[in-house]
């Protein structure tokens, strides 16, 4: 076969010129990626260079970072260069990543190469949505990124830029700018960088302090600065804002009745349960926990540091603090929530906050708020239930801090006094008691099996459809555990079932393990 392709002569249009310096910045919202880009462009232009920046926005809520791209070079004989709009794999001089996994994604994209790229990255983590919504531990393993960085980059500058910025009252963009200056990737002096920050005016002092700290950190290789721990309310519920003798009595009772290894978890659980309902509900929590501790002692739990009681303290509190309509409304109208949102948005004085939230209640949630007897009666009237559902089951956009909606949510959130007589509470209590009986029966014959059954409560979480899916997997897992509970390796199979259910939201992996069990059960 002959190659008949016509080859045309394509001579160069002119002599080759110097190539621009290219920089790619990968940052999420709130990390100052746009400000950092503007600083670098201004830095180049202050020296008479031609600089161009572009950006490709990522998706909001941490499902993707924005890529900022800069090319800069001095004009040649008075002619302005033509600069690229997007980074080309294998042709980027500096990559700056404001989060560790984003550094890994930059390597995967081919932006980091061992022959030319200086990689500046923070080694802290800001979890992606995919990591947060995983039923189990969905946090990605950073080991692969750590290994790739040592191979993929020509020069690497990796440390906790975010902690350094927080320690100096600024944002990570200032620390990244200082690291860039120390890296020497651009032919500009340190003072030139500082002049750009000073020209920014507002917040310049904190930005300069952060810049200098990052610059010195790169030059000297000093130890990382630990991020300050945010102030939180003490976990010990014995010191409420308003002293409550009943609550103090619960804490004293907890310290007397439970073993040392379980005390910390039990205190946290008690705090959660009381916050969910009231002091009387906390008393019920301790009653149940005392019974489970007795089963733990009978099973020889002392030799195992009372692992059963400690697990019960955690997962019982979660089971008793289920998410219902009352809980959701209560959380959305708390003053602390609004203050947290304002802090995260860094709102200044005079700015007005409005939040619009999408709510899609189903008739099941409404029925759950009704008295148990009336709710069950309604459940036996499918035609009436269907008529009501057609009017309730639709999406609504709720302006939380408008007066009508806030009052409506506030009233619903204040109905916690009716909760323990509701249909939803009756259903949750019945389900909880069945789970605890299975765990107590299990621990009496196989200690670790009892612990594994308690930990299966991890499968139940969330609200509405999410709760229903988790509950379905929980019930299927417990049913499968009953098939192997007499085997010596029952605890191992219980763990495999739970981990399979946590890994796969669709439940296909769980189905596979259940089918395997049925072949020998």
Contact 412, 400 (CB under 8 A): no
For residue 133, the model assigns a pLDDT of: 65
Q: What is the CA radius of gyration of the chain?
A: 30
Token readout for 240 is 């409420």
For residue 242, the model assigns a pLDDT of: 41
Rounded Cα gap, residues 299 and 309, in angstroms: 11
Model pLDDT for residues 19-50, shown as the tens digit of each residue? 899 999 998 877 788 899 999 999 999 999 99
CB count, 10 Å around CB of 260?
9
pLDDT band of 3, cuts 50, 70, 90: low
- Least confident piece of the model among 141-155, 310-324, 405-419: 141-155
Model pLDDT for residues 253-285, shown as the tens digit of each residue? 999 999 999 999 999 999 999 999 999 999 999
3-state class of 397 per DSSP?
Answer: strand
Single pTM value for the model: 0.70
pLDDT at 465 over 70: yes
Rounded Cα gap, residues 76 and 57, in angstroms: 32
Rounded Cα gap, residues 32 and 105, in angstroms: 19
Provide the mean pLDDT of the chain. Answer: 86
3-state class of 51 per DSSP?
Answer: strand
pLDDT at 521 over 50: yes
pLDDT band of 128, cuts 50, 70, 90: low
For residue 16, the model assigns a pLDDT of: 47
pLDDT band of 238, cuts 50, 70, 90: very low
Model pLDDT for residues 45-103, shown as the tens digit of each residue? 999 999 999 988 765 444 467 899 999 998 887 778 888 888 889 899 999 998 888 88
Rounded Cα gap, residues 70 and 72, in angstroms: 7
Percent of the chain with pLDDT over 90: 54
| C-alpha dihedral sign at 64, 467, 450, 268 | positive
Rounded Cα gap, residues 196 and 198, in angstroms: 6
pLDDT at 509 over 50: yes
Model pLDDT for residues 328-353, shown as the tens digit of each residue? 999 999 988 888 888 777 677 778 88
Helices (H), 7-66: 33-46
Contact 432, 450 (CB under 8 A): no
3-state class of 7 per DSSP?
Answer: coil
For residue 224, the model assigns a pLDDT of: 59
Model pLDDT for residues 138-171, shown as the tens digit of each residue? 676 777 777 777 788 899 999 999 999 999 888 8
pLDDT at 227 over 80: no
Contact 45, 186 (CB under 8 A): no
> Residue 193's Cα: distance from chain center in Å?
34
pLDDT at 226 over 70: no
**Distance from the first to the final alpha carbon of the chain:** 65
pLDDT at 398 over 80: yes
Contact 73, 81 (CB under 8 A): yes
Looking at domain 21-220, its CATH architecture is 3-Layer(aba) Sandwich (3.40)
For residue 285, give the nearest of 63, 436, 407 by alpha carbon.
436
Instruction: Give the mean pLDDT of 130-144.
Output: 68
Angle, helix 465-484 to helix 447-455, in steps of 10 degrees? 160
């Amino acid at each position: 076969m002959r190659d008949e392709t016509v080859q045309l002569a394509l001579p160069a249009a002119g002599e080759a010129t110097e190539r621009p310096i290219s920089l790619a910045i990968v940052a999420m919202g709130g990390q100052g990626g746009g400000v950092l880009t503007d600083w670098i462009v201004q830095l180049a232009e202050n020296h008479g260079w031609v600089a161009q920046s572009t950006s490709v926005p990522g998706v909001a809520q941490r499902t993707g970072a924005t890529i900022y791209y800069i090319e800069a070079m001095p004009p040649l004989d008075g002619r302005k260069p033509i600069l690229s709009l997007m980074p080309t794999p294998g042709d980027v001089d500096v990559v700056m990543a404001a989060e560790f996994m984003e550094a890994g994604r930059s390597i995967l994209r081919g932006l980091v190469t061992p022959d030319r790229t200086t990689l500046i990255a923070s080694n802290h983590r800001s979890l992606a949505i995919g990591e947060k919504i995983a039923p189990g531990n969905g946090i990605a393993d950073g080991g692969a990124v750590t290994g790739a960085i040592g191979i993929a980059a020509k020069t690497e500058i990796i440390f906790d830029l975010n902690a350094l910025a927080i320690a100096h009252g600024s944002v990570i963009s200032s620390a990244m700018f200082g690291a860039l200056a120390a890296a020497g990737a651009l032919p500009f002096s340190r003072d030139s960088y500082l002049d750009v920050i000073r020209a920014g005016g507002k917040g310049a002092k904190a930005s300069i302090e952060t810049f200098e700290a990052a610059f010195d950190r790169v030059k000297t290789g000093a130890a990382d600065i630990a991020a300050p721990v945010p102030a939180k309310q003490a976990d010990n519920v014995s010191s409420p804002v308003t002293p409550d003798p009943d609550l103090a009595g619960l804490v004293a009772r907890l310290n007397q009745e439970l073993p040392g290894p379980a005390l910390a978890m039990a205190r946290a659980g008690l705090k959660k349960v009381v916050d969910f309902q009231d002091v009387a509900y906390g008393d019920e929590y301790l009653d149940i926990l005392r019974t489970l501790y007795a089963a733990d002692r009978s099973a020889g739990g002392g030799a195992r540091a009372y692992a059963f009681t400690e697990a019960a303290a955690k997962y019982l509190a979660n089971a008793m603090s289920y998410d219902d309509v009352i809980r959701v409304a209560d959380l959305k109208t708390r003053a602390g929530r609004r203050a947290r949102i304002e802090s995260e948005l860094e709102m200044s004085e005079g700015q007005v906050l409005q939040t619009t939230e999408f709510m899609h209640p189903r008739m099941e949630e409404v029925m759950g708020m009704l008295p148990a007897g009336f709710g069950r009666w309604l459940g036996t009237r499918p035609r009436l239930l269907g008529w009501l559902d057609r009017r309730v089951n639709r999406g609504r956009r709720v302006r939380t801090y408008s007066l009508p909606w806030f009052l409506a949510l506030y009233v619903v959130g204040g109905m916690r006094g009716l909760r323990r007589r509701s249909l939803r509470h009756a259903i949750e209590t019945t389900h909880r008691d069945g789970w605890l009986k299975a765990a107590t029966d299990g621990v009496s014959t196989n200690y670790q099996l009892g612990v594994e059954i308690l930990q299966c409560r991890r499968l139940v979480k969330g609200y509405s459809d999410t709760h229903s899916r988790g509950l379905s997997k929980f019930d299927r897992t417990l049913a499968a555990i009953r098939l192997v509970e007499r085997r010596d390796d029952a605890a191992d199979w219980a763990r495999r079932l739970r981990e399979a259910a946590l890994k796969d939201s669709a439940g296909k992996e769980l189905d596979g393990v259940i089918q395997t069990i049925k072949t020998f059960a």
